[in-house]
Structure formats: C-alpha cells, structure tokens
Amino acid sequence: MHSIFISGAAQGIGAATARLFYQHGYKVGIYDINEIQAQKLAQQLGPHAKAGLLDVADYQQWQQALSEFKAWAGGVNVLVNNAGILYSGAFEQTDIAAHHRTVDINIKGVLNGCHAALPYLQRASFARVINLSSASAIYGQADLASYSASKFAVRGITEGLDIEWQKYDIRVLDVMPLFVQTALVKDMDAGSIQNMGVHLTTEDVAQAIYARVQAKDSIFTTTHQAVGLKTKMLMTLSKLSPQFINRMSNRFLAKRK
C-alpha cells in the first residue's frame, strides 16, 4: 500500500486530497498546524489515516512528523506540499510581518518539506513530490504581490528539483489552480478575484493532484499542470503574447469594480 504525506491537510485542498487518496487505497498522513482538526479528519477517514502537528516553517517539526509517519506507514511515497497562506490588498497597507510570514510558510515550508522528505523518498520504490503552485505564478498579481512571488518561488523550486532529482527517479511536479473555494479567498481584497470569480472546488484540485501522482513518468509528463480552463487560457496567453500584452491583460484583470 502506497502512502502520502500532506501538509496543511486539516481543511481545504489538503483535506479534499486526503479524502481522495484514502478512497484510492493510500495510507494518508494528515499533518497541520491545527492538530485537533487534523485528528478529527483522520478519525472520520479510518484506520489508514494518521494525523499530527506540523508547522511547515519549522524544519525540526518536519523531521519529527516525517519520522513518525514513516514508522507508522512503513515508508513515504508521495509528498504534497499544500500548506500556504494568502494576504491580499495594497502592498504598502499590508504589515511587513504578513509579507514575511508568507515567505516563511509558502516558500520556506516547501523547501523544508522537500529537504526533510528526500531521505524517505529515496528509499521508496515509487516516489513523487507534488507542490501547490498557483495561476498567480504565471504573471505577478496586483494586491497579491508577496503571495504571487511565493508561488513563483514554488514554481522555480519545482522546476529545479524535477531536473535535479532525476538521479533519484523522483519526479517533482506542481499544480497551478486559479482561485479555489477555500477559506483563503474569503473576503479577499483584490480586483482579480472580482473579475475572474471563484469557480474551482477543492475536489477539482485534489483530482488534479491525484492525476499528477498517477501520471506515467515520461518526457511528455509536464512539470506544471494548470487547473481549470481559465488558468489554462492564462498560461497559453503568457506563452504566446509579448510581455506588454501580458502586462496590459493583468492590469485589466486587476481593475476593481
């Protein structure tokens, strides 16, 4: 039985992913800074689910959580770096501590997870890392500057490690959804969400993650996977259009109603 370790798994995309993989016969690790909620989800799922505490910005907690999970599951096949936060609104009106916290969780959390999980992934017969990037990593977003930057960083980490870890037969892939119906986008203060709307569900993203894990390893398995029609359109536009067109398009999307 393969196993999957998911950060930020107590709610939202992480919880939907835990449910889906459990249904497909995986041993599931539900780790979150909200341990009580993580434990509740594990109890709901059943005996092949294990929950625990994890602050992704704390490397020692990663080491402890992965060691604990490996001892319980017998190994680690899939790591999903899902934990993340979002602050929206004018850059200068957002406290600098919030910008720093975005970096600590969204970037350092992914670095910590990949670094701490590698020894376990190396010993697995099948291993894959799935990172949660975003459509905000296609072009920098107004009123979401630090969040967008953090997802560009996740995109870069994914690209770099997907090449570097070929020597270990480990694929490092990501999913890039637009806005998803989670607590992160509640009361979000950005023109782009007003213009683009929130149409993706957590189950949509979970299905994309499952497809990434199940995809055969070949030269045709892309590192990035846009989730949703609008994200696919934005990604295609960014590849085909001159930079000034991309900038104008994103200026239009950022206009508040």
- Which residues form the catalytic set? 147
Partners of 130 in the β-ladder: 80, 173
- Please give the full DSSP string across the chain, using - where no structure is assigned: --EEEEET-SSHHHHHHHHHHHHTT-EEEEEES-HHHHHHHHHHH-TTEEEEE--TT-HHHHHHHHHHHHHHHSS--EEEE-------S-GGGS-HHHHHHHIIIIIHHHHHHHHHHHHHHHTSSS-EEEEE--GGGTS--TT-HHHHHHHHHHHHHHHHHHHHGGGGT-EEEEEEES-BSSGGGTT---HHHHHH---B-HHHHHHHHHHHHHS--STTS-SEEEESHHHHHHHHHHHHS-HHHHHHHHHHHH---
Measured distance CA(229)–CA(122) in Å, rounded:
35
28 and 22 Cβ atoms separated by less than 8 Å: yes
Name the token pair of 166. 């070929």
What SS3 string covers 19-30? Answer: HHHHHCCCEEEE
